[in-house]
Structures are given as structure tokens and as C-alpha cells.
Amino acid sequence: MTPTQFTYQVLDIRRGTTVDGPGLRTSVYLAGCRHHCPECHNPDSWDENGGATMTLDEILEVIKDEDFDVTLTGGDPLMHPESTAVLAAAIKALGKNIWLYTGYTYEQILADPRLRAAIADIDTIVEGPFVAALRDPDLLFRGSSNQRIIHLKDNSCAKS
């Protein structure tokens, strides 16, 4: 399958949001999550068949139109690591800073070659499952204190 033939189940694309990373961002909510965190704020995202089917090119058109940096979230974008890697590479080719939210820990990602390959073009990950007992509404860009923001690239901050 060539990269432009990939399709994605997209729950939503939020334009100009400030809650999924620094600055104004385009957040792409991908369907599917196997973590099923108790008290998840978005349990509708667990269904990998949810949302609407979009092509890589359709997603990229929205990103180009908005001209913001990008956040991949969901669900969990790493549920389909190969297609997420293709999406991230295409977004990076547009010169965008990319954040990715995942329920996997960084250690789990590094231990799995498929997951590790999927974050090759990601600038920052927000990692770890949501833990309701550790919920903290004062945390920036994360829901519970066990989750970490890990900057993978030197250019991990959004454009000013």
C-alpha cells in the first residue's frame, strides 16, 4: 500500500485548539484505543471504526488550510502504528511541529519496534494511561500526574 492509499478513521479535527499542546494547533482525533482507562474523558474514541473515513490527502488538506502545528490524539494514534508513522512523516514534510498523545508509556514504545518507528517524526509525546486517582486539573496538557510530556526533538515547542 502506498502512503496516499492509507485511510484513517477520524473522530474529529479541531482547528485552532489550545488544549492539546502549546500554541494554536490542529488536533486530529483518530479512532481506536485498547487502553480503556477507567473514567476516560473520551470513551467514544475506543471504537476503531468510529468517526469518518478520511484519506491521508484529506487530512493533510485540513492541516495545510489551518497552518497550525499539529497534535495527533484520539483514541490512541499508536493503535495503528504503521499508518500513524505515514501520517506523521507527511505532516513533518509540511514543516509542522507534532505532538502525539498515547496511553503507552515511553518505555513500552521503546521496547516495541513498531511503536518506536511510529514516533520517528514526532516532536513531543504525552504518554501513559489516564489514572483517575491521579487526576489533576492543574496539570498542563495532561490529565493525570503519572503521564509525562517527553520532548523527543530539539524543536519541540510550537512556533511563536
Please write the tens of the pLDDT for every residue from 11-32. Answer: 999 999 988 999 999 999 999 7
Residues 6+ apart with CB under 8 A from 108: 115
More reliable by pLDDT, 25 or 2: 25
CATH topology classification for 3-151: TIM Barrel (3.20.20)
Find, among 40, 39, 12, the residue nearest to 26 by Cα: 12
Alpha helix ranges (H) inside 35-94: 56-66, 81-93
The structure's pTM equals 0.89
The pLDDT value recorded for residue 131 is: 85
